[in-house]
Amino acid sequence: MSFLSYLINGLSLGSVYAIIALGYTMVYGIAKMLNFAHGDVIMVGGFAIYTLMNSMGVNPIIAVLISVVICTALGMAIEKIAYKPLRKASPLAVLITAIGVSYLLQNLALLIFGSDAKLFSSVVSVPAANIGAISITGETIVTIVACIIIMIVLTLFIKKTKAGQAMLAVSEDKEAAELMGINVNATISLTFAIGSGLAAIAGALLCSAYPALTPYTGSMPGIKAFVAAVFGGIGSIPGAFVGGLLLGIIENLSKAYISSQMADAIVFSVLIIVLLVKPTGILGKKISEKV
């Protein structure tokens, strides 16, 4: 019985990791860069919703939609200012820039909102589902449903639309895509726009499930979600979902049955083992690099 409730707790946490990981993996899959500022865009989304709801009394759904717009604009701006000039630079330079952007966003939030925790009011009004003695919170249900919808829509978008096909082409070979008349810069911008929009949704759900909002709210879940994305196979959209859920469940079960203190250490050890055994992650494809 208690095993089931630990499992459900793990699922709640995992669903939040999964929705963040979707954004990570999407940007990595197309632009081939690790956007370490992703977690902080989530935080910005959280603060946007908090401000809209608490200071201006905006309806939660509308607040989420506005925050999606804000984060999308922010994502595109970051891409334009920080990443685009480095398109030809080494991946390491871009990675370091991303870390810089991450700190910039954290410190800006620190300046504007201060570092005391704000308690976030949930944007989810779905009631908890009770199955026997087990209760699944509304936040968990909405997060999982949102993950599945996002996953399906993203997959369809990439497979069925012209812009999606262009993304696929850019991810495979930038130069060749350019020769085929694809606007590589516009495609990468679009990827960031979508990734950041997803971050806003993730922010809304993360803060609803765990309502203490600080300028550092996004950073640890962001890193864990990155682990989840690698775990599931980075670049793979279903992989991010599976990786996120598994990571949450492993974390909570190790808290429950091994040691609440060691949970993080165990999670990261699992990652190391998975990478040793299957370097591409659970659902990752093996891509043979051309030399």
Residues in the site for other proteins, rule: CB under 8 A?
A: 2, 5-6, 9, 12-13, 54, 114-121, 128, 135, 137, 210-212, 214, 220, 252, 255-256, 259-261, 263-264
User: φ, ψ for residue 134 (rounded to 5)?
Assistant: -90, 135
- Least distance in Å: CB of 115 to other proteins? 4
Residue closer to other proteins, measured from CB, 73 or 128: 128
Give the DSSP per-residue string, 79-111.
Answer: IIIIIGGGTTS-HHHHHHHHHHHHHHHHHHHHH
Comparison of 2 and 90: residue with beta carbon closer to other proteins = 2
Of 135 and 161, the one with the shorter C-beta distance to other proteins is 135
**Nearer to other proteins among residue 100 and residue 114 (C-beta):** 114
At 135, list the tokens. 């209760």
* Angle 218-222-223 from CA coordinates, rounded to 5°: 130
- Give the nearest distance from C-beta 2 to other proteins in angstroms: 5
Residue 178: C-alpha distances to residues 248, 258, 290 (Å): 40, 52, 18
Q: Which is nearer to other proteins, 44 or 177 (CB)?
A: 44
Nearest distance from residue 278's CB to other proteins, in Å? Answer: 26
CB of 172 to other proteins, least distance (A): 37
Which of these, 72, 76, 67, lies nearest to 120 by C-alpha position? 67
Closest of 33, 147, 43 to residue 102, by C-alpha: 43
User: Please, what is the minimum distance in Å from the beta carbon of residue 159 to other proteins?
Assistant: 35
